[in-house]
Structure 1
Amino acid sequence: MTSVLIIDDEPLQREILATILSEEGYNVLSASCLQEARDLIAESFPEIILTDLKLGNENGIDILTDLPHEPFLPSVIVITAFGTISSAVDAIKKGAFDYLTKPVDKEILLLTVKKAQERANLLKENLRLREELYGHFKIEGIVGKSKKMLQILDIVRKVTPTSATVLISGESGTGKELIAKAIHYNSPRKDKPFIAINCAAIPETLIESELFGYEPGAFTGANTRKIGLLESAQGGTIFLDEIAELPLTLQSKLLRVLQEKEVRRIGGKDTTKVDVRIIAATNKNLADEVQKSKFREDLYYRLKVVTVEIPPLRERKEDIPELARFFIDKYSREFGKRISSIDERALNALIEYNWPGNIRQLETVIERAIIICEGDKIMLKDIQDELKLKMPKSILHIDIPDEGINYEEFERELLKKALQKSNYVIAKAARLLGMSYKTFWYRLEKFGLSDEFPKRENFPK
């Protein structure tokens, strides 16, 4: 229920306004002076304040300067006599939402209060979304506990309070934009824009106007002024993904932005100062691009004030179980399914897979598995098509005798047969059993097979 605080030194006027608003379902509070109003504001945090301009020897406008610094301020509506409308206009300049003239018309009162209520609801929703956004990109919320990821998160924590330029490198799908957003939304710039632009996705003929904007008449079709993304990100962060694809002609202009903190629109004569943090990302080795004369050396060194190198998923496989659980939870909630875990064989398959598409591919695999999964647990059959896994058929037809079998001896024999079939080349033997080289060698050590077979020169030392 929306709370409305009425401030008026005339009891009858307070009562009339309170009756009208109460009948419409508002929670009404009343105060006869500013001090009484301050106490109620501190105690009840009303969304709307309805105050008379003249409160005896006090001025209702003063309540604007007394309001506490909450996430959003109440909407203040000033009531004034017709002869003092200029004072009401002055109140709006100081932050009041609107004003009403005496005698107050009931319909206009309710309409104005309703608009103020809509504003309060909008501010609440914006606050909720902002808190949700900040929570989503909290550094602590980034999934990954491997040594490499912990080192990256340590760098991110150190760079967020600054305005330093950051260069993020890594293969496609490793989460470069996620790191960029974590830097922005944990920095003092978090309330300002975060604008992402993929330099490889915009034609070379358009990217300059997108970044720098243009003046009317700058080229055919430029009928109005266009503000570029660098200006639009004022006070915030611009994320330049695939920076290696930026044309050389624009690299020099971007260098000027970094050095002089100013931009000049296409066709313009004057420059505009900009306060914007630049975070760049690439899946290429920029040092190699510099050697090939495809990237400016001076821009390269301006961008790499702080560097973050994100490893591919195949080099941080210890993070896969946690990432899988994260995506299972995410898509189970999104699709309204009760899937809470993943079968051990399926998880092992995820760990053993090479992941050329990195985290983005893992997310897609889990999303599809959630859709087709029929139980409460993701099974190997739910992911085998996506990973192009071949299910072993011969093992499925083995009969287990009543007296049971010795599973360790059975596994030991499988390892032997795989070694024999591969002529004792461990990499080939591992592939025959669908294992990684490391896993196969671990099992050889476990069963003492590394010391038993010939051609030991093929075994790792």
Structure 2
Amino acid sequence: MAVILIVDDETLQRDILTTILSDEGYETCSAASGEEALKLAKATEPDIVLTDLKMGKMDGIELLEKLKGLKQPPTVILMTAFGTVDSAVDAMKKGAFDYLTKPLDKEVVLLAIRRALERKELMQRNLELRKALNDMFSIQGIIGHSKAIKDVIHIVRKVSDSPATVLILGESGTGKELIAKAIHYNSGRREKAFMAVNCAAIPETLLESELFGYEPGAFTGATQRKKGLFEAAGGGTVFLDEIGDLPMMTQSKILRVLQEREIMRVGGREPIKVDVRIVSATNKDLHEEMKHNRFREDLFYRLKVVTILMPPLRERREDIPDLAKFFLQKFNHSFGKNILKIDDAAMTAVIGYSWPGNVRELQSVMEKAVLMCESDTIGLGDIRGELRPIPRPALGIEIPDGGIDLEELEKELLVKAMAKSNNVLARAARLLDMNYDAFWYSWKKHALDSAENQSGVKCILPVEIPDAGISYEELEKDLLQKAMEKAGNVGSKAAKLLNMSYRSFAYRWDKYGLNRPRKPDAPGRPRLRTGRLSCT
């Protein structure tokens, strides 16, 4: 229950207030002077001080000022006679919560106490939320001890408190927004807003009004003025996620923000000054975007004063156990569970998985595992169904001078996978890192029967499929590239080496987004190029 300190030089007034508040269940203590009240406040740390304004040597105003200097300053309510209302109002400007006029009304006193306690609780919650935010996005809150993530943390420490723009690069799900928030909450702008926008998620027609706001009449339905993100974030940070997807027209306006520190609302005529820091992120290759005139070069160099490269999770595997345990604790708390650990088999699978969705995918897998787990330990069975087949390295098959029949190789792999999985199609598909439908389509395409009936299936593979399986796509990509190298980078010859039509070869080449390899006698660094192959 709340503690209330009553301060009044009139004994009767102190006794009346003590009775009223004690009857309501509040814990009370009282003092006859400001000096005595200050000593009691230091000893008891009251939630509220209810003090008279006019007292002896130390009056209510002086007491208020001294209470503000305490480690845990209480909420102060002043009591005053009718003739000193102006002084009470002045005291409120100096930090008092409220004032009550004498003679006191019981209900008014209790209402003021309740309101003061509600405000104190709100302020406490606000402090806790701010602390939670600071803890969540503190540099210490970035999980991992790998060199890759330590390099990221090192840069975040250096740039956070500077005004420099930061460009964060990395695959989807690597934690780019987390780093942007860490930069904001460790900067001098931490008390101001952090405003994030996904540039790829908002239609082009709405993006500018979202970023810059609009004036009444700017477009149909714009009946009143609306501030955009840059104004709303005044003094804070704007995080432009997926900035590589910004339309060219909007790019020029972002450039103006960076150069002139001003924006123009949609439909507006006067520029508006803004004070924000811009942090941006993308999973695109902006050099490639500039090459194809899809991204402004001048904007690129304005955005990348500092660049942070977020490593994919597969390149920081040593951080996976820490991340998995963090998510275990997080979702234990969210779901009211008490799962103690992840067993060795499950952890081995988690560490060995390629995580194409990066940290976001790991979080999703752990969330479901915690929710569905029925014991105190997450086992392999709790996560195996959530992990897509792990890409495995293709087998090292060399192409002989006479070539290799890719269709026959596929048939052999299908049959061997079925045999190894005891004719269970779903297991066979996992052995080749294929989904069920793709495996079934290929099986039917080749009119195959059962694993036992292998008549008409040539033996091309020098080895059996290993227990861990193989990646058929990686094997096919490897053979396409080897055929091109063997054919001197001539697509039609490479197709013949794999016993397929040029059209089929070119389709697969483009499907995998492969780059044309350098010819053996070409000097210097290879110039990689994508697109349809020439049959010259």
- Classify the TM-score, shorter chain: 0.7 to 0.9
CA drift of 1:173 comes to: 0.6
**Residues 188, 319 of structure 1: CA spacing in aligned structure 2 closer, same or farther, 3 A cutoff?**
same
Contact 2:35 2:58 in 1 (8 A): no
Query: How many angstroms apart in 1 are the aligned matches of 2:346 and 2:470?
Result: 15
Say yes or no: does 1:235 pair with 2:272: no
Query: How many angstroms apart in 2 are the aligned matches of 1:40 and 1:130?
Result: 30
Tell me the alpha carbon deviations over residues 232-253 of structure 1, each in whole angstroms, 9 at most, x when there is no partner: 2122222111111222222222
CA drift of 1:207 comes to: 1.8
Say yes or no: does 1:432 pair with 2:469: yes
For 2:284, the equivalent position in structure 1 comes to 284
Superposition pairs for residues 124-273 of structure 1, below 5 Å? 124-273=124-273
**Residues 232, 29 of structure 1: CA spacing in aligned structure 2 closer, same or farther, 3 A cutoff?**
farther
For 1:380, the equivalent position in structure 2 comes to 380
CA drift of 1:153 comes to: 0.8
For 2:35, the equivalent position in structure 1 comes to 35
Using the TM superposition, name which of 306-315 and 253-262 deviates more: 253-262
Q: What letter corresponds to residue 214 of structure 1 in structure 2?
A: Y
Query: How many angstroms apart in 1 are the aligned matches of 2:272 and 2:199?
Result: 22
Q: What letter corresponds to residue 366 of structure 1 in structure 2?
A: M
SS of corresponding position for 1:337 = coil
**Residues 213, 104 of structure 1: CA spacing in aligned structure 2 closer, same or farther, 3 A cutoff?**
same
Say yes or no: does 1:423 pair with 2:465: no
Q: What letter corresponds to residue 372 of structure 2 in structure 1?
A: I
Query: How many angstroms apart in 2 are the aligned matches of 1:220 and 1:310?
Result: 42
SS of corresponding position for 2:42 = helix
For 2:107, the equivalent position in structure 1 comes to 107
Query: How many angstroms apart in 2 are the aligned matches of 1:148 and 1:278?
Result: 24
CA drift of 1:177 comes to: 1.0
Structure 1, unaligned runs of 5 or more: 397-419, 438-461
CA drift of 1:313 comes to: 1.1
**Residues 221, 106 of structure 1: CA spacing in aligned structure 2 closer, same or farther, 3 A cutoff?**
same
For 2:369, the equivalent position in structure 1 comes to 369
For 2:517, the equivalent position in structure 1 comes to none
Query: How many angstroms apart in 2 are the aligned matches of 1:23 and 1:101?
Result: 22
Tell me the alpha carbon deviations over residues 146-174 of structure 1, each in whole angstroms, 9 at most, x when there is no partner: 11011111111122222322111111111
For 1:442, the equivalent position in structure 2 comes to none
Contact 1:194 1:237 in 2 (8 A): yes
Q: What letter corresponds to residue 462 of structure 2 in structure 1?
A: N
For 2:507, the equivalent position in structure 1 comes to none
For 1:327, the equivalent position in structure 2 comes to 327
CA RMSD for the aligned pairs?
2.9
Contact 2:42 2:70 in 1 (8 A): no
**Residues 67, 347 of structure 1: CA spacing in aligned structure 2 closer, same or farther, 3 A cutoff?**
same
CA drift of 1:84 comes to: 2.6
Query: How many angstroms apart in 2 are the aligned matches of 1:304 and 1:221?
Result: 37
Contact 1:237 1:277 in 2 (8 A): yes
Q: What letter corresponds to residue 156 of structure 2 in structure 1?
A: V
Contact 1:422 1:429 in 2 (8 A): no
Contact 2:138 2:182 in 1 (8 A): yes
CA drift of 1:57 comes to: 5.6
Contact 2:231 2:274 in 1 (8 A): yes
Query: How many angstroms apart in 1 are the aligned matches of 2:30 and 2:125?
Result: 27
Q: What letter corresponds to residue 78 of structure 1 in structure 2?
A: L
CA drift of 1:395 comes to: 9.7
SS of corresponding position for 1:221 = coil
**Residues 95, 224 of structure 1: CA spacing in aligned structure 2 closer, same or farther, 3 A cutoff?**
farther
Q: What letter corresponds to residue 316 of structure 1 in structure 2?
A: R
**Residues 384, 98 of structure 1: CA spacing in aligned structure 2 closer, same or farther, 3 A cutoff?**
same
Tell me the alpha carbon deviations over residues 3-25 of structure 1, each in whole angstroms, 9 at most, x when there is no partner: 22223222322222222112212
Q: What letter corresponds to residue 248 of structure 1 in structure 2?
A: M
Q: What letter corresponds to residue 258 of structure 1 in structure 2?
A: L
Query: How many angstroms apart in 2 are the aligned matches of 1:388 and 1:77?
Result: 63
Contact 1:421 1:429 in 2 (8 A): no
Q: What letter corresponds to residue 423 of structure 1 in structure 2?
A: P
CA drift of 1:94 comes to: 2.8
Tell me the alpha carbon deviations over residues 213-270 of structure 1, each in whole angstroms, 9 at most, x when there is no partner: 2233333322222122212212222211111122222222222222333333333344
SS of corresponding position for 1:432 = coil
**Residues 377, 24 of structure 1: CA spacing in aligned structure 2 closer, same or farther, 3 A cutoff?**
same
Query: How many angstroms apart in 2 are the aligned matches of 1:70 and 1:212?
Result: 44
Q: What letter corresponds to residue 25 of structure 2 in structure 1?
A: G
**Residues 33, 71 of structure 1: CA spacing in aligned structure 2 closer, same or farther, 3 A cutoff?**
closer
For 2:456, the equivalent position in structure 1 comes to none
Query: How many angstroms apart in 1 are the aligned matches of 2:275 and 2:110?
Result: 43
Query: How many angstroms apart in 2 are the aligned matches of 1:54 and 1:392?
Result: 94
Query: How many angstroms apart in 1 are the aligned matches of 2:145 and 2:336?
Result: 28
Give aligned-pair identity as a percent: 57
Superposition pairs for residues 35-74 of structure 1, below 5 Å? 35-56=35-56, 58-68=58-68, 73-74=73-74
SS of corresponding position for 1:54 = coil
**Residues 32, 270 of structure 1: CA spacing in aligned structure 2 closer, same or farther, 3 A cutoff?**
farther
Q: What letter corresponds to residue 469 of structure 2 in structure 1?
A: L
Query: How many angstroms apart in 1 are the aligned matches of 2:159 and 2:188?
Result: 11
Structure 2, unaligned runs of 5 or more: 391-416, 423-458, 475-536
For 2:409, the equivalent position in structure 1 comes to none
Structure (1 or 2) with the larger CA radius of gyration: 2
Query: How many angstroms apart in 1 are the aligned matches of 2:218 and 2:158?
Result: 42
For 1:440, the equivalent position in structure 2 comes to none
Say yes or no: does 1:358 pair with 2:319: no
Count of residues in Structure 1 that have an aligned counterpart in Structure 2: 410
Query: How many angstroms apart in 1 are the aligned matches of 2:419 and 2:30?
Result: 79
For 2:19, the equivalent position in structure 1 comes to 19
SS of corresponding position for 2:39 = helix
Using the TM superposition, name which of 274-283 and 50-59 deviates more: 50-59
CA drift of 1:69 comes to: 5.3
**Residues 351, 255 of structure 1: CA spacing in aligned structure 2 closer, same or farther, 3 A cutoff?**
same
SS of corresponding position for 2:293 = coil
Query: How many angstroms apart in 1 are the aligned matches of 2:128 and 2:8?
Result: 33
**Residues 106, 140 of structure 1: CA spacing in aligned structure 2 closer, same or farther, 3 A cutoff?**
same
CA drift of 1:93 comes to: 2.8
**Residues 180, 127 of structure 1: CA spacing in aligned structure 2 closer, same or farther, 3 A cutoff?**
same
CA drift of 1:290 comes to: 2.2
For 2:340, the equivalent position in structure 1 comes to 340
Query: How many angstroms apart in 1 are the aligned matches of 2:87 and 2:152?
Result: 56
